[in-house]
Structure 1
Amino acid sequence: MTSRINIARPVSANMSDPHGFANNRPSSGFRAANPDDPLEKLRAFGTQVEDAVEIYVQPLKPHLPAIGRFLIVVTFYEDALRIITQWSDQLWYLQNYRHFYWGLSHLFLIFNVLTMLVASTAVIMKRYTDNAVLGLLSVVIIQGFGYGLIFDLNFFLRNLSVIGGLVMVFSESMITKKKNFAGIPSISETDRKKYFLLAGRVLLIFLFLGFIIQGTWSIGRVFVSLFGLAACIMVAVGFKAKWSATFLVIVLSVFNVFVNNWWSVHPAHSQRDFLKYDFFQTLSIVGGLILLVNIGPGGLSVDEKKKTY
């Protein structure tokens, strides 16, 4: 008993300590986090938000891929329906303002309608996804040049975000796709998925950047823009990507209902079609963000690097 008491007593500075237990030098090893540190409070808050997102999204998680894919292609369905219902007006615009020849204008519209309907349906059904995404990308590019909107900043930013949504669809299809020709030296499927997810994340945020630089400024718009810009940066770099994408889904959905409320505009009003177009395009970007919430930011992200280090 005496020997145990002697061992437990602290060693004085003058006594020899061959094992180094009395080393008074400051340790450079792990230290417990200070709960009063503002950075630790921010991290704790971020963890709580992530946990809340996981809890509330869990019941919807099995349905998120289908919801995301449908919202991404819904703008193409709407566009195809608009061309069909406004066929004569579309031909008149292409022939008189864009100087299309008579037969070429018809072929242009037929190609757009068929490609959008077939490719959008293929995306929803997860059939021939790669070809379907390429078809929809070609529609976005061809319409930009065909309607003369390629140099319109708002159109350009919105369609970059729509392309980001299509890239997310392509990335999602790569997750479950079986690897073929495994023995051939090439970039692995995982590496390709990482790069496509990075491109999709970056492209998705351009819609919100367009919202920031356009429109009338107010105090509310300033606050929404600041928080939204922070969330966009977090999505782009992949930091807390799931809950920052969830925040953007909520903000864009509320913004879409109150600002692009085309149903409240008289059918004969000239702004109705523009509001309707913006409404369904915003839904496509929301769909891309939903896919991001479901599949995560990918390997080239801060969230993934934190798991490694």
Structure 2
Amino acid sequence: MTSRISIARPQSSNYNPDPHGLSNSRSSTGYRSANPDDPLEKLRAFSKQVEDAVEIYAQPLRPHLPAIGRFMIVVTFLEDAVRILSQWSDQIWYLQQHRHFPWGLSHLFLLINVVVMLGASGCVILKRYTEYSVAGLLGVVVIQGFGYGLIFDLTFFLRNLSVIGGLFMVFSDSMMTRKKLFAGLPTLSETDRRKYFLLAGRVLLIFLFLGFIIQGTWTIARVFVSIVGLAACVMVAVGFKAKWSAAFLVFVLSIFNVFANNWWSVPSAHPQRDFLKYDFFQTLSIVGGLILLVNMGPGGLSVDEKKKNY
């Protein structure tokens, strides 16, 4: 039986175990900032914590986010169709007396709007013929703006730009689903188109908040919310930390919508009720577009995506 003897190698006084400086004495324990006291490093660490929290808490809802987002985007069209049907005679009177529609054309105008809004909204919810449905709803937004004479109203214009942004998000979501179905086929042009639709959708979605900033009475709380919200809008538009900035806007707009557009607390005979109800459901549509953004991400034309390549 032999014994194992360790023989120590004599080392000179100038011996260096790492002559080329290739070792790394710092242990890899996840995210560590170069300088913990640096404000920029603290901000990066905080943003990463927020991103992780959004991912964790959104995980149970993630399979349902696309359906929730699509439904919320088209809910304003469903409400508008129901409102036209329930106020048919008032709508006819307004178009004929104030917009000077001839008899028959006013009826046809309203009927086309109702049929397209109900049919296209149902198709968007069921994910059937999404491209044609989105095109139909875009047409409704345009013809209603001209038909009711609201195309030059700034608030109406900004809100409808955001609704159009939500419809672009629906279209992008359908393109992503179709890409998964035909994963083995060349989809370069489809991917490029989706990038541009996502970019347009992101930019248009923030116009509702811009409308909120430029109207209303200014208070200290309103100034604070406007500054923070504007920063989140810019981040959504350029695609920087887009998921959690969109999640923040979903939270802010949802709270604002409940307290500012509480149409259910206004008597049914009050004329303000219809305006509050209209604003409430339009804001829900924009929140739906932001939910789709949280689910899909900002797309290829964004700061977040470019950072992955460097």
Q: How high is the TM-score relative to the length of structure 1?
A: 0.90
* Amino acid in the other structure paired with 1:244: S
Distance 1:20 1:171, change over 3 A: closer
1:8 aligns to 2:15 (yes or no): yes
Distance 1:45 1:95, change over 3 A: same
Partner of 2:265: 264
Q: Within 5 Å, which residues of 2 pair with 1:218-229?
A: 218-229=219-230
Partner of 1:13: none
Partner of 1:190: 191
The whole-number CA distance in structure 2 between the counterparts of 1:156 and 1:8 is 75
Gap runs ≥5 in structure 2: 1-7, 22-31
1:39 aligns to 2:40 (yes or no): yes
* Amino acid in the other structure paired with 1:292: L
- The residue matched to 1:188 in structure 2 has which SS? helix
CA-based RMSD of the aligned residues comes to: 2.1
Partner of 2:132: 131
Q: Within 5 Å, which residues of 2 pair with 1:1-309?
A: 1=8, 3-8=10-15, 33-178=34-179, 188-309=189-310
1:292 shift after superposition = 0.2
The whole-number CA distance in structure 2 between the counterparts of 1:225 and 1:275 is 21
1:187 shift after superposition = 6.1
Distance 1:297 1:20, change over 3 A: closer
CA deviations 1:235-290 (Å, max 9, x no partner) are 00000000000000000000000000000001111110000000000000000000
Partner of 2:24: none
1:35 shift after superposition = 1.5
Gap runs ≥5 in structure 1: 11-18, 22-30
Task: Tell me if the contact between 2:33 and 2:41 (Cα under 8 Å) persists in the aligned partners.
Answer: no
Aligned pairs, number: 291
* Amino acid in the other structure paired with 1:230: A
Partner of 2:5: none
The whole-number CA distance in structure 1 between the counterparts of 2:12 and 2:270 is 92
The whole-number CA distance in structure 1 between the counterparts of 2:93 and 2:83 is 14
CA deviations 1:215-248 (Å, max 9, x no partner) are 0000000000000000000000000000000000
Identity %: 77
- The residue matched to 2:267 in structure 1 has which SS? coil
- The residue matched to 1:8 in structure 2 has which SS? coil
1:306 shift after superposition = 0.8
CA deviations 1:110-168 (Å, max 9, x no partner) are 00000000000000000000000000000000000000000000000000000000000
Q: How high is the TM-score relative to the length of structure 2?
A: 0.90
Partner of 1:27: none
The whole-number CA distance in structure 2 between the counterparts of 1:134 and 1:300 is 23
* Amino acid in the other structure paired with 2:130: T
CA deviations 1:83-120 (Å, max 9, x no partner) are 00000000000000000000100000000000000000
The whole-number CA distance in structure 1 between the counterparts of 2:33 and 2:48 is 17
- The residue matched to 2:152 in structure 1 has which SS? coil
The whole-number CA distance in structure 2 between the counterparts of 1:46 and 1:4 is 49
1:36 shift after superposition = 1.2
